[in-house]
């Protein structure tokens, strides 16, 4: 082993050991993490806590289906997951190319396709107007968030999953993570 490799191994070992000495990072309840996305030419936000993964350029195998929102199937860690077009579910025109897939947290597995990821953002909880109360409007949007680039409606992922399953003729009880 050369001296350069030995030095690198020692540095990696030291960094690894140091990572256990640092207190675990905790997220407080004073902030909300969001994905700012563009869907159907409009800006939206997704709560990161309602997702379990974000994937660019994941292949989707189309299916012959009468459900316009169902783009097809994609594989995630050995599990085949139906992929629905978020723009279609939100009532926007279908975009041909969706670069991004977000896996919905919970079961049954489902992925939502959209074409543009603007950024990830952590905002104070006070900047989010929650729309999940008993008087929440039906549909997939629950609340608004104020971001530096403008206000965005928040897409509720569990409500979107329920809508996707209803459009496919299935009813599933939602299991949140």
Check residue 19 and give its pLDDT.
73
Residue tagged 């965005």 (tokens): 152
0.95 cut: is pTM over it?
A: no
Check residue 110 and give its pLDDT.
94
Buried b (16+ CB within 10 A) or exposed e, 19-50: eeeeeeeeeeeeebebbbbbbbeebbbbbbeb
Separation in Å, CA 93 to CA 67, 85, 152? 14, 10, 19
Mean pLDDT of the chain: 86
> How many alpha carbons fall within 13 Å on the CB side of residue 38?
12
Check residue 12 and give its pLDDT.
87
Residue 101, phi then psi, degrees to nearest 5: -125, 135
- β-bridge mates for residue 119, sequence order: 36
Give, for 166, the enclosing helix (H) or strand (E).
Answer: helix 157-167
Q: Specify whether the CB–CB gap between 92 and 4 falls below 8 A.
A: no
Check residue 175 and give its pLDDT.
47
Q: pLDDT confidence of 158, banded at 50, 70, 90?
A: very high
Distance CA 80, CA 17 (A): 37
Q: What is the pLDDT of residues 93-152, one digit of tens each?
A: 876 789 999 999 988 899 999 999 999 999 998 889 876 655 555 688 999 999 989 999
């Amino acid at each position: 082993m050369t001296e350069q490799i030995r030095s690198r191994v020692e540095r990696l070992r030291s960094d690894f050991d140091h990572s256990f000495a640092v207190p675990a990072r905790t997220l407080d309840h004073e902030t909300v993490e969001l994905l700012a996305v563009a869907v159907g030419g409009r800006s939206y936000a997704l709560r990161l806590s309602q997702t379990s993964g974000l994937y660019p350029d994941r292949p989707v195998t189309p299916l012959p289906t009468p459900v316009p929102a169902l783009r097809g199937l994609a594989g995630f860690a050995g599990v085949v997951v139906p992929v629905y077009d978020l723009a279609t579910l939100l009532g926007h025109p279908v975009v041909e190319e969706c670069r991004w897939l977000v896996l919905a947290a919970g079961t049954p597995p489902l992925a939502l396709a959209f074409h543009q990821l603007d950024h990830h953002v952590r905002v104070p909880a006070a900047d989010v107007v929650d729309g999940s109360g008993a008087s929440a409007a039906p549909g997939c949007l629950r609340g608004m968030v104020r971001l530096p680039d403008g206000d965005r409606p928040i897409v509720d992922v569990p409500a979107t999953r329920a809508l996707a399953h209803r459009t496919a003729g299935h009813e599933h009880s939602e299991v949140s993570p």
